[in-house]
Chain A
Amino acid sequence: MSFVISRRRLVQVTSSAIAAGALSNVTGLASAQPAGELRVATSGGNWGDAIVNAFVKPFEAETGIKVTPIFQDVGAAQIGMMVKTNTVSIDVSTVGAVLGETLATGDFLEKIDYSYYDKNDLDAVPDYCRKSFGFASYIYSTNMFVNTGKLPTAKQRPTTWAEFWDVQKFPGVRSLMSGAGIPGPFEEALLADGVPMNTLYPMDIDRVFASLDRIKPHIRKWWASGAEILQIMRDGVADLGQSYDGRINSLIDAGVPIDIGRNQVKLTWDYWIIPKGSPNAQNAQKFIASTARADRQATFAKLFAQSPSNRNAYKSIPDNIGRKLATNPDYAAGSYPANAKWYTEIGSDGLSNLDQLKQRWKKWIVL
C-alpha cells in the first residue's frame, strides 16, 4: 500500500506541468561540451581546494580529460530540475548520504559502473559506501566536543550522550545540531535515552522527541551549518556540544582548547553521484572510480582530515593524521554508521522517515 502511494507521488512529480513543458526544450548547454571534458561540483572553500588537489588534478594528469571544478553545493531540487528539464550542467557532484538515497528513489541518478574499479579497492570499502547510485570516497562523523578551558578536568566532561543529557552532573553551556536539516540530533537523543548503538534503527521517533524534550531547555544554540558551529566552538559560545569531526580537528590544530569525543560517534559520508543525462557520463564514471583508489584517498586525508572509505589508504597515512580520522580502527568500537537507507523508507502513512522527522521537528519547535 505504502509503495503504491509513493509510486503515485513519483509519477505526479515526473509528469508535472513543468516537466512536460520543459522537456521539449533542450538548451545548448548540454551539447556544448566537447568530448574529453568533465564538470565536477566540489563544494567550496578549503574543502573544495582539497578535493581538487587530491582527486581532480591527478585524474586530469593521468587521463588528459579536462576537468572543470565547480566550487558550489548542489541541492536535491536543483538536481531534480536539471534532470527533468534536460539541462544537466554538472557531470559529477557529491551529495550527503541521505540525499543520495532520496535522489536514487526518484530515479535522478545514473547507475555506477563498478567494472571500472579495482577489485582490491572495492573489497577494502564498506558496503554502505558503494551503492548502485553512488560511491563514497570519504567518511566523516559527528562527535561530542568539550572546551577544555571551561571544563579543565576529565570529571567535568561527559563521554556518552546520556551524560551529556545529565545537566546536573555535567554543567556547562550546550550546543546541538538543529534537526531542520540532515543529519540531525536524532540518533544522539536515542543514545542519551539508553538505546544501544547497534539497535538504533529503525528509530523510534516518539522516543527521539521525548528524549529531546529533556535537553531542550538546556541548549543555548541549535546550530545549522558547519561554519556556524566552527565559530561557536572557537569563540567559546558553548562549553560542550555536537560538531563535525573535521571542524573540531581544524580547531585543535589551530591551538583552540577543544577536545574531541571518540565514543558514540555517528559516521556519515557523501556519495559521488552522476545526474541522469550527464553529457560526460563516461568520464564521470572514470573519475568516480579514481576516487576509490587508496593513494588518492590518502592524499585527501592528508589535505583535509576526513577518513578514507578504502581502508588500504591507512597504509600510507602518517600516524599523526590517522589519529584524527573517524574510521581509525582504534576508534571502531566507539562509532556506528548512520543508516541513510532508513531515512528514505516509507512508513504506513505514506511518508518517508525523513519527512516524518521533519514534520515532528517543526511541531516540536513551535508547539
Chain B
Amino acid sequence: MEVLQKFGRMPAGLTIPAIAILLVVVGIPTIQLFLTSLNAPSFSLVNYQAFFEQRADVVILFRTVTMSVVVTAICVIIGYPTAYLIVAAPQRLRITLVVLVLIPWLTSGLVRTYAWTVILGDHGLINNLLIYLGVISSPLTLVYNRLGVYIGMVHIMLPMMILPLLSAMQGIDKSLMAAARSMGARPFAAFWRVFFPLSLPGVRSGALLVFVGCLGFYITPQALGGLSDAMLSGFIADQFQSTFDLAPIATSAYILLAIAMVVLSVFGFNLSDVQGRPAQISHRARLSQFSSLGQGSRYINEIVTHYRAKRWASHLYQVAHGGTWSKLVGVVFMLSVLVYLLCPGLIVIIMSFSGAAFLEFPPSSLSLRWYQSFLGDPSWTGALWTSVQLGIATTIASTIVGTLAAYGLSRTSSRLRSFLIMVILTPITIPVIVVGVAAYLGLVNLGLLGSKTGIVLAHSIGAIASVVVIVSATLANFDRTLEQAAQSMRAGPLRTFTRVTLPLIRPGIIGGAVFAFMHSFDEVVVTSLVSAFAVTTLPLKLLENIKQQIDPTIAAVGSLLTLMPLLWLVALYFVWRRSRLNASHMLTEPAT
C-alpha cells in the first residue's frame, strides 16, 4: 500500500516498466548505433556531413516529410467525419462499422498494394469503366505517380487515424452537447465549441501515429509511385540489403528521427495537455470581453438567446425532419469511405478464388486451390498460430505497460512529460529497419535472439508507443476531480484506479489493445531480424513467398483473415439478438 501511495505521489514512476523494456531491448543498442553514426570512438560528423553534402539526400528527406504531412492531413480530413459518424451511430451499427474500418489491416499490405494497381492501372477498373462510359477516351494516369502513392498510403494509415479518434470521441460525455443545445447553441456551434475541442486530443494522437508511420513507408511509394516518389526509408532499406556498414544507415535514421521530433514539437504533440487548454479558453474569453467587437457580439447574443431558446423547443421535435439532408450526406460519406477502405480487400478476396498460378483480376477460372494450399500446409497454419500467440502476448504486455505509462505521463510535469514521450515514441519514429537492428543487438545481449519471448519484447516496444498515444488521447479528457471525489470518500489509489479511472478510460485502452495486436500481427521487418531464422510468423511466411511471384496463397490468407472478423460479426449479431430476446422475455415475464 505504501509503495502504491508513493507511486501516487511520483506519477512518472508508472512509466518505469515501459522505459525499462525500451532501454533493455533497444535503448542501449540505439545509443550504440548513434555512436556508430558519429564514428565513435574517434567522434566526427563525417557521416552527417556526407548526408547533407548530398543535395539529393536533403531533397529526399524534405520530400519524405512533405508527403507524410500531406497524408496526415488527408487522413484527418477523411478520418474525423468518419469517426464522428461512427460514434453517432447506434451501438450495433457502431461495432459493425468499427470492424469494417479495421478489416483492411488484416490483408497483407503487399497484396493490397497490388490490388490498387488493379484498380488504378492504365487498363484498371476505374479507367476501363470511365472509357466504357465514354467519359474519357484515353486512360487517366492514376498510378505510378504521387497520386497513386497518396491513395495507397492513406488507405493504409486511415484506420490508424480513426482508431484514436474513436477512443477520444467515445469518451466525450454526450450530455455536454445536449446541454449546449439546451442553452440555445445551434448544432454546429455546439459541435464546434463543445465537441470539437474535446475531441482534439484524438486528432493529435491520430495525426501523430499517422505522421510517424508515414515517415517509415517504403514499399507503397515504390510500388505505386514513380521514379521521384521514393521516400528515405526505401533508401535505408536498400542500403541494409547491400552494405554491411551500419554507419550511413544509422545516420539517415537519426536525421529522420530528429526531423520527426522537430515537426512533432512544432505541431505541439504534447499528447495530454489537459492543463493547457482551460487557460487558453479563459484567455480567449478575456480577449473577447475587452474588444468592442466581442462586446457587441455578446450584446447581440443576449438578445438572440431569448429567441433561440424559444425556437429550441420546436427544434427538438423537428430534429428527425431537419436532419434528413445531413443524414443523407452522412450516409453517402460513410459509404464512400467504406468503399475506399474495403474495395482493395474485396478484389483480393475475388482474386483468391482464382485457379491460375498468378494473381489475376478478374480470375479466368475459379478454384479453391489456394485455400487448400494454405489450410493443407502445416507450415502456413503453424505460422498463423505463432502470429496469433505472439500477437496476444504482445497485446497483454504492451496494453498494461502502455496504459500505466500513459496514466503516469498524464500527471507528470509538462517538461518531464515531453522528454519521456519523446523517449517512448522513438521506436515508432525511427525507420523500422533501424529498430530491427537495435532490437537484434539488444536481444543478443539478453540471450533472447530467435526466441518467442524476444520477438514479443521487440514487438512490444512499438506497441507500447501506440498504446501510450491512444490512451493519452482518452486521458486528456478525463476529469480528475472524479478521482479526487473517490479519494475523498476514502477510496485508496488502487481502488480509485480500478473503480473510477479504468472504466472511464476503457475505450482508449481497448483501442490501444487493438492497435497493439495489429502492430504485432503485421510486423515483418523487425521480426525478420530478431527471429534469427528460428521462428516463422505469418507475415514472414507471406514475405518469403513473394520472392519469385505474388503467389495467390497470399490472397487466400488475406481473405481468410478478412472473412473471419466478418463471421465473428455475424455471430455477434446473433448473440446480441438472442440476448435481446431473452431480455425482453424477462421484462415481459413479471407482467404475465
Contacts and interface: CB of A to CB of B under 8 A. Distances in A.
Interface string A151-189: 000000000000000000000010000101110000000
Q: Which of B56, B244, B437, B532 has the most CB of A within 10 A?
A: B244
A327 interface: no
Contacts of A236: 123
Contacts of B445: 21-22, 25
A221 interface: yes
B40 to A, nearest CB: 5
Nearest to A10: B245
Interface string B425-449: 0000000000001001100110101
Contact of A231 (B230, B356, B359, B444): B359
A44 interface: yes
B216 interface: no
A22 B444 contact: yes
- Interface bin, chain B: 35 or more
B36 A227 contact: no
Given A72-B544, A231-B550, A237 B242 contact: no
B532 A89 contact: yes
B39 interface: yes
A181 B241 CA distance: 9
B224 to A, nearest CB: 10
A12 B551 CA distance: 42
Interface stretch (B57-65, B206-214, B467-475): B57-65
Contacts of A221: 144, 226
A344 to B, nearest CB: 11
B35 interface: yes
B222 A27 contact: no
Contacts of B447: 25, 27-28
A222 interface: yes
Given A22-B444, A363-B55, A48 B547 contact: yes
Interface string B83-112: 000000000000000000000000000000
A17 B35 contact: yes
B481 to A, nearest CB: 49
A4 to B, nearest CB: 16
Interface in B114-167: 114, 117-118, 121-123, 144
A25 B222 CA distance: 38
A133 interface: no
Interface string B18-56: 000000000011001101100111100000000000111
B234 interface: yes
Contact of A102 (B122, B244, B450): B244
A358 B222 CA distance: 16
Contact of A47 (B41, B357, B533, B548): B548
Interface in A42-66: 43-48
Contacts of A173: 122
A81 B440 contact: yes
Interface string B210-234: 0000000000001100111010001
B533 A72 contact: yes
A79 interface: yes
Contact of A98 (B242, B532, B541): B242
Interface of A: 9, 12-13, 16-18, 21-22, 25, 27-29, 39, 41, 43-48, 70-73, 75-81, 85, 87, 89-90, 98-99, 102-103, 106, 108, 173, 178, 180-182, 216, 219-222, 224-228, 230-231, 234-237, 246-247, 250, 254, 354, 358-359, 362-363, 365-367
Given A12-B247, A43-B544, A76-B242, 15 more contacts: A12-B39, A16-B35, A16-B36, A16-B246, A21-B441, A47-B548, A73-B544, A76-B240, A180-B238, A216-B227, A222-B226, A226-B549, A237-B117, A365-B56, A365-B227
Closest 10 CB pairs of A and B: A44-B544, A80-B244, A362-B56, A363-B56, A45-B548, A75-B241, A71-B544, A366-B59, A47-B548, A45-B547
Interface of B: 28-29, 32-33, 35-36, 39-42, 54-57, 59-60, 63, 114, 117-118, 121-123, 144, 222-223, 226-228, 230, 234-235, 238-247, 249, 356-360, 437, 440-441, 444-445, 447, 449-450, 528-529, 532-534, 540-541, 543-551
